[in-house]
């Protein structure tokens, strides 16, 4: 069975929720049915958005440390539970030996297979992810229009819901964070989004209490599904 390395700590709660979803979707009846994985909750990794905006230190050294620890276990696949971190992980491919799971490829596959008629995609992502233009590059040759929040809604609604005291990165989330998040989602719908992508791992917490009448793609769910497919499809193929 293939081994998985998971980089967490960005934030910790989102990483643990990834792990919970991962475990809950596995069909296992005894200890040996579960896959072997290494979970590094590296809460020392500096904030990715602050680094991209040039107002904070680079996370690369700490990401390298996580990758080094994980690589010591000779994992087959590596996944990060922070989408913004992929901006940096793609710059340090020499730091790991396993295959890095690409969330952007999973999003494109999901859109092409299940939502081919969607035209306007509302993007919930950190300011760092938006500034890095990772999504613009991925969608450059695809027939989708990306809709993002204006500065006020991005910072005072979405980012605040994630980063405020009592936000989705906190150990305990307040009702205010959910209200701010809801306003951000409603704004994307008002702007004409046919579908929303949760491209920040904290969006899973906001969407847990949010009802919308358009499709929603959660990148965490895609990553969890891909990890399980890689483990168990490989097992089936090796039999």
Q: Is the pLDDT at 225 greater than 90, yes or no?
A: yes
DSSP 8-state symbol, 172: S
CATH of span 103-218:
3.40.50.1860
Q: Is the pLDDT at 238 greater than 60, yes or no?
A: no
Q: Is the pLDDT at 73 greater than 50, yes or no?
A: yes
Residue-wise pLDDT tens digits, 80-123: 999 999 999 999 988 888 899 999 999 999 999 999 999 999 99
Strand partners, 78: 5, 100
**Whole-number pLDDT of residue 150:** 98
Q: Which strand (E) or helix (H) includes residue 111?
A: helix 103-114
Domains of the chain, residue spans? 4-101+221-238, 103-218
How far, in Å, CA of 200 to CA of 164, rounded?
15
Could you tell me which of 17, 43, 13 has the C-alpha nearest to residue 172? 13
Q: Is the pLDDT at 216 greater than 70, yes or no?
A: yes
Residue-wise pLDDT tens digits, 137-194: 999 999 999 999 999 999 999 999 999 999 999 999 999 999 999 999 999 999 999 9
pTM comes to 0.94
Q: May I ask the CATH class of domain 4-101+221-238?
A: alpha beta
Pairing mode, strands 77-80 and 37-41: unpaired
**Whole-number pLDDT of residue 234:** 58
**Whole-number pLDDT of residue 96:** 84
Q: Which strand (E) or helix (H) includes residue 216?
A: strand 216-218
């Amino acid at each position: 069975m293939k081994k998985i390395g998971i980089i967490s700590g960005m934030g910790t709660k989102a990483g643990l929720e990834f792990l919970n979803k991962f475990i809950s979707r596995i069909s296992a009846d005894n200890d040996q049915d579960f896959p072997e994985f290494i979970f590094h909750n590296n809460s020392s990794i500096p904030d990715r958005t602050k680094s991209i905006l040039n107002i904070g230190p680079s996370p690369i050294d700490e990401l390298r440390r996580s990758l080094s620890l994980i690589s010591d276990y000779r994992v087959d696949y590596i996944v990060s539970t922070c989408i913004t971190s992929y901006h940096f992980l793609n710059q340090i491919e020499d730091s790991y030996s396993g295959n890095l799971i690409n969330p952007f490829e999973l999003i494109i596959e999901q859109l092409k297979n299940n939502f081919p008629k969607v035209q306007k995609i509302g993007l919930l992502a950190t300011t760092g992810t938006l500034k890095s233009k990772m999504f613009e590059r991925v969608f450059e040759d695809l027939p989708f229009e990306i809709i993002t929040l204006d500065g006020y809604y991005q910072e005072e609604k979405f980012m605040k819901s994630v980063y405020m005291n009592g936000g989705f990165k906190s150990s305990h989330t307040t009702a205010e964070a959910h209200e701010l998040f809801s306003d951000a989602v409603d704004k994307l719908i008002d702007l004409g989004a046919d579908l929303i992508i949760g491209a920040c791992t904290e969006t899973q917490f906001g969407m847990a209490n949010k009802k919308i009448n358009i499709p929603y793609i959660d990148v965490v769910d895609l990553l969890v599904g891909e990890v399980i497919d890689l483990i168990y499809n490989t097992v089936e193929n090796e039999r």
